[in-house]
Amino acid sequence: MSVLSYLNAPLWLLGVFGSEKSPRKNPILGNPALNRWGLHRRRVSFAAAMAERRRARLARALDADSRRQFDDNGFFLTRDFLPEDLFRRLKEEVYGHPFEAREMRQGQTVTRMIPLPPSVLAAHPALAAAVRDPRAVAQLRYAASDGGQPVSFLQTIIAEPERQTEDPQTQVHADTFHPTAKAWLFLHDVGEGDGPFAYVPGSHRLTPERLDWEYRCSIAARDDSRSHHAHGSFRVRPEELEAMGLPQPQRVAVPANTLVVADTFGFHGRTPSDRATTRVELHWTMRRNPFLPWTGLDPKALPFIRERDLSLFLAYSDAREKWLKKRHIWRPVGAVRVDAPAQT
């Protein structure tokens, strides 16, 4: 580590008190001695305690059966989510013409992302109604323990198994050390062989066994050969799930018009597909500083940022690549149809 790198020390320290998760990027978070003394363990425990308090305030927006489903399993699953006519119009809008898109390749899988700023939503009323559906937003907020503004976009998952390169998202993992939310409204049926989302039911709970596992991971994570693991998205093996008293992942194969909202602190992954598949979905994410005591006051909800945050982030990333030569993973591919073949 160079002397100049220590100029980042104040940022490393701030990261300890925020959502920073990477043991490899942040030498404080990755320090084996500090983690033996309980740094990571305390961050996980405190984040879970704050999430529980925030969720208690967000619970009134959900009915008791929905809350019970999530509290037991770690995810909501709602079939026939949108009224039939609205879902039909949504598909017509989504499949009807090209959208400006970005793509990211991870091994044999390409993820296509189509941002949905206000200008796009204004031209597509059914899409706007789905994105802003108050039931979806309430479930996302509860899962993330965050009363703020979700980020939404159209997403296409394109599996190309002939490439014979592993997709790291097929390794069962937790996204980070605290509750966060991802949601998918599937625009067509997703079968067992279509690379469905998989989740370990009940793995969103911070049990003593899970906390011990987090502790052990934190000590050696910085030097782990698995890149995503070393950057704080800890990968879990089948025998480790068993040792924690958890089941193996459950495939979420569902019909079209099903909404799934999951806490991605729970263990999950993308099921590998042995044939070429294309999956189209409306996708939301929510992640925020896990130590905040309040549920609101989200900058993303401000009028000049609301529903523009993803576009602003991509513009920033493009400028950073142009001027600082810091290449980012989301490559622009122009206007394409949601179900077009991969462009990267």
Domains of the chain, first to last: 15-287+299-336 (2.60.120.620)
pTM: 0.95
Torsion 45-50-53-54 (CA) sign: negative
* pLDDT score for 164: 67
- Cα separation, 114 vs 105, whole angstroms: 15
* pLDDT score for 273: 82
Exposure string of 231-259, with b = 16+ CB inside 10 Å and e = fewer, is bbbbbbeeebbeebebeebebbbbebbbb
* pLDDT score for 108: 87
* pLDDT score for 165: 78
Beta-carbon-side half-sphere exposure of residue 142 (alpha carbons within 13 Å): 25
* pLDDT score for 4: 53
Long-range contacts for 223-227 (Cβ within 8 Å, ≥24 apart)?
Answer: 226/168, 226/171, 227/168
* pLDDT score for 8: 82
- Blockwise average pLDDT, block size 10, the chain, 344 residues: 68 94 96 98 99 97 96 98 99 96 94 98 98 98 97 96 82 98 98 94 98 98 95 98 98 98 98 90 98 94 94 94 91 97 92
* pLDDT score for 5: 66
**165 CB neighbour count, 10 Å cutoff:** 13
* pLDDT score for 344: 87
Lookup: tokens for 283: 């996708």
Give 172's DSSP letter. -
Closest C-alpha among 60, 253, 46, 70 to residue 144: 70
Sequence-separated (6 or more) residues with CB below 8 Å from residue 269: 169, 170, 171, 172, 173, 197, 198, 249
Lookup: tokens for 33: 């001695």
